[in-house]
């Protein structure tokens, strides 16, 4: 490394955010650029550790450990420190097709596995990653790179989320003619309609989609395979198919009163909100944030909002509701509050399961005076008014007790029942698996969690010439795992088509 003592000399700093009271008035991205001098100092903190756990990604029972796309992190940290930004961009793109996405929305398991993190705050890997790719676009270094020749083979990719886009990019790079099919009206999957604009600006997504189109990839929107086009018809049209439709069946909450109006799945809420924003072209004033000028979406304006479930999706619902102008906001989590520091059962280099304020909770604290999350709480029923609208939510506190085999189960605490005002309830409890009928129509075998059965790193289904990757294969996961699987399925699909492959 160029600065072997950098980790001793410089403190960790990350991408600065706009103040919560300011950013809540806009749908624009709230991350602000870091000065080049500071970025070089942050790159200098990478400590030449010998074994860079940060770049060796693998799944563990507690989450990802290290970078699932095997980013060459110490290399581009060093290049940034030396001011060699174009070379850093080359190393970054070598392993990651879309660093502008991961640099914004990835939870950075690489930082959780940083060796420096054992004794000091870890290297600001995610901030450096975003800075490299943003500079690459600003300098005009990121340009379309269509293949020099075509193989004559065609591949259909079902789903345009990060797995589908990564697969398409790699297969196109190999020279195949690729068509991506998306049931929504815009390309991007959850990148477009599952992540709010202030966290990932949709111009950033469209910029990459335009690049892929310029490289020769065809995009077909408003087309659901299995409904608008029969799956067997699509299989006959292409030499191979890659199924990357995601795990979009939401986990429900089957309690009394679930059928009342005003109770929505989180993705239903977020999708409609972003679509209304994009269709209107608005992202500015506080008035527009709270009005219905943006078209058809479920507004939280003036409502008592309760978000059931944590994770990134729950946080996004919190932040979106605040921008609408909600009257109050509470977030329920059935699990216990995480500890302030790593527990003995969660050692480095695992992802640290510790308490933190994410951007949405930080905004809620500024507006309402407290972290909106309530832990170890279970919803028992909903009650409504005479028009069928939800008006109350009934809960009970729980404790987690150990059962047979060490498995923990929730036990209700007698006398802890409580009634909450609720005009809008958002269910953000995760996903159960894929819903796309294409699996049934093609006769794809499922695993015990209803996902498409295909071995990791092989991605081959039981149907010849049909591959599966991303959340449709592995279940709900991170954007960075989706890119990993998109690249991997492209490699195996190319091998099947050509007999060998040069894709990584």
What is the number of structural domains in the chain? 3
Among 293, 318, 271, 286, smallest CA distance to 424 is for: 318
Query: Is pTM, for the whole model, over 0.85?
Result: yes
Burial call 223-243: b when 16+ CB within 10 Å, e when fewer: ebbbeebebeebbeebbbbbb
Residue 473 buriedness (CB in 10 A; 0-12 / 13-18 / 19+): buried
**Is 228 in the same domain as 282?**
no
CB atoms within 10 A of CB 258: 15
Residue 288: per-residue pLDDT: 46
Residue 277: per-residue pLDDT: 92
Residue 259 sits in a domain whose CATH number is 3.50.50.60
Residue 419 lies in a domain: yes
Residue 149 lies in a domain: no
Residue 62: per-residue pLDDT: 67
Burial call 423-459: b when 16+ CB within 10 Å, e when fewer: bbbbbbbbbbbbebebbebbebeeeeeebbbbeeeeb
Sequence-distant (≥ 6) Cβ neighbours of residue 378 within 8 angstroms: 334, 395, 396, 397, 398, 410, 412
Angle between helices 162-173 and 202-214 (to 10 degrees): 20
Among 302, 252, 304, 317, smallest CA distance to 419 is for: 304
Q: ω before 349 within 30° of 0 (cis)?
A: yes
Residue 95 sits in a domain whose CATH number is 1.10.1060.10
**Is 337 in the same domain as 349?**
yes
**Is 447 in the same domain as 425?**
no
Among 52, 36, 47, smallest CA distance to 6 is for: 47
Q: How many residues does the chain have?
A: 504
Q: Give the residue from 138, 170, 187 where a domain finishes.
A: 138
Three-state secondary structure call for residue 78: helix
Give the separation between CA 256 and CA 38, rounded to whole angstroms: 54
Residue 402 Cα distances to 409, 410, 416, angstroms: 6, 9, 21
Residue 144 lies in a domain: no
**Is 400 in the same domain as 336?**
yes
**Is 120 in the same domain as 170?**
no
Give the separation between CA 392 and CA 381, rounded to whole angstroms: 9
- HEC string of 39-67 equals HHHHHHCCCCCCCCHHHCCEEECCEEECC
**Is 232 in the same domain as 274?**
no
**Is 259 in the same domain as 242?**
no
Give the separation between CA 197 and CA 186, rounded to whole angstroms: 14
- Output phi, psi for 384, to 5 deg: -130, 180
- Please count the CA atoms within 13 angstroms of the CA of 186 that sit on its side-chain side: 22
- Output phi, psi for 240, to 5 deg: -150, 155
**Is 366 in the same domain as 469?**
no
Residue 405: per-residue pLDDT: 80
* CA 193, 197, 199, 203 torsion-angle sign: positive
Give the separation between CA 90 and CA 173, rounded to whole angstroms: 16
- Do the beta carbons of residue 305 and residue 326 sit within 8 Å? yes
The whole domain housing 393 covers 252-429
Give the separation between CA 152 and CA 154, rounded to whole angstroms: 7
Strands 390-402 and 408-412: antiparallel
Give the separation between CA 102 and CA 57, rounded to whole angstroms: 14
**Is 345 in the same domain as 210?**
no
Residue 145 lies in a domain: no
Residue 417 lies in a domain: yes
- Do the beta carbons of residue 246 and residue 409 sit within 8 Å? no
Strands 263-265 and 249-250: unpaired
Give the separation between CA 134 and CA 146, rounded to whole angstroms: 21
Angle between helices 125-138 and 73-81 (to 10 degrees): 60
SS3 helix, strand, coil % of the chain, rounded to 5? 35, 20, 45
Residue 393 Cα distances to 259, 322, 331, 384, 454, angstroms: 13, 20, 12, 9, 41
- Do the beta carbons of residue 313 and residue 270 sit within 8 Å? yes
Among 76, 56, 75, 74, smallest CA distance to 65 is for: 56
- Going by the DSSP 8-state scheme, the letter that residue 15 receives in this structure is -
- Output phi, psi for 167, to 5 deg: -60, -45
Q: Give the residue from 412, 429, 446 where a domain finishes.
A: 429
**Is 14 in the same domain as 57?**
yes
* Residues of the chain scoring pLDDT < 50: 283-293
**Is 299 in the same domain as 174?**
no
């Amino acid at each position: 490394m160029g600065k072997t003592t950098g980790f001793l000399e410089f403190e960790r700093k990350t991408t600065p955010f706009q103040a919560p009271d300011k950013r809540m008035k806009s749908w624009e991205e709230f991350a602000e650029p870091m000065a080049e001098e500071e970025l070089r100092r942050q790159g200098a903190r990478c400590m030449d550790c010998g074994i860079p756990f940060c770049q060796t990604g693998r799944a563990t029972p507690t989450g990802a450990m290290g970078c699932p796309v095997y980013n060459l992190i110490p290399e581009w940290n060093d290049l940034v420190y030396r001011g060699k930004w174009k070379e850093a961009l080359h190393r970054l793109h070598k392993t990651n097709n879309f660093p502008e996405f991961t640099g914004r929305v990835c939870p950075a398991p690489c930082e959780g596995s940083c060796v420096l993190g054992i004794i000091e705050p870890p290297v600001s890997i995610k901030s450096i990653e975003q800075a490299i790719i943003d500079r690459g676009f600003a300098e005009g270094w990121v340009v379309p790179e269509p293949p020099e020749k075509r193989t004559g083979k065609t591949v259909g990719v079902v789903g345009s989320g990060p797995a589908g886009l990564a697969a398409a990019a790699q297969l196109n790079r190999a020279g195949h003619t690729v068509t991506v099919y998306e049931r929504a009206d815009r390309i991007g999957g959850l990148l477009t309609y599952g992540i709010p604009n202030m966290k990932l600006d949709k111009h950033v997504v469209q910029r990459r989609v335009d690049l892929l189109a310029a490289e020769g990839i065809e995009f077909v929107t408003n087309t659901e395979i299995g409904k608008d086009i029969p799956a067997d018809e699509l299989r006959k049209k292409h030499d191979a198919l890659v199924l990357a439709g995601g795990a979009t069946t939401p986990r429900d909450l089957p309690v009394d009163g679930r059928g009342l109006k005003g109770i929505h799945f989180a993705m239903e809420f977020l999708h409609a909100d972003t679509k209304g924003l994009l269709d209107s072209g608005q992202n500015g004033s506080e008035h527009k944030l709270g009005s219905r000028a943006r078209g058809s979406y479920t507004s939280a304006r003036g409502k008592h909002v309760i978000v059931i479930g944590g994770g990134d999706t729950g946080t996004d619902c919190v932040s979106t509701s605040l921008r609408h102008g909600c009257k109050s906001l509470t977030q329920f989590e059935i699990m216990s509050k995480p500890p302030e520091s790593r527990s003995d059962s969660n050692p480095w280099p695992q992802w640290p399961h510790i308490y933190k304020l994410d951007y949405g909770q930080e905004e809620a604290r500024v507006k309402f005076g407290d972290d909106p999350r309530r832990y170890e709480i279970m919803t028992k029923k909903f009650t409504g008014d005479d028009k069928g609208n939800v008006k109350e939510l009934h809960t009970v506190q729980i404790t987690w007790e150990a059962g047979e085999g060490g498995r923990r189960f929730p036990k209700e605490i007698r006398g802890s029942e409580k009634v909450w005002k609720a005009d809008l309830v958002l269910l953000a409890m995760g996903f159960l698996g894929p819903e796309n009928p294409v699996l049934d129509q093609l006769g794809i075998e499922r695993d015990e969690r209803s996902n498409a059965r295909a071995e990791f790193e092989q991605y081959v289904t039981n149907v010849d010439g049909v591959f599966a990757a991303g959340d449709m294969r592995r279940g709900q996961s991170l954007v960075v795992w989706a890119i990993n699987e998109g690249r991997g399925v492209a490699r195996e699909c190319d091998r099947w088509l050509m007999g060998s492959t040069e894709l990584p």
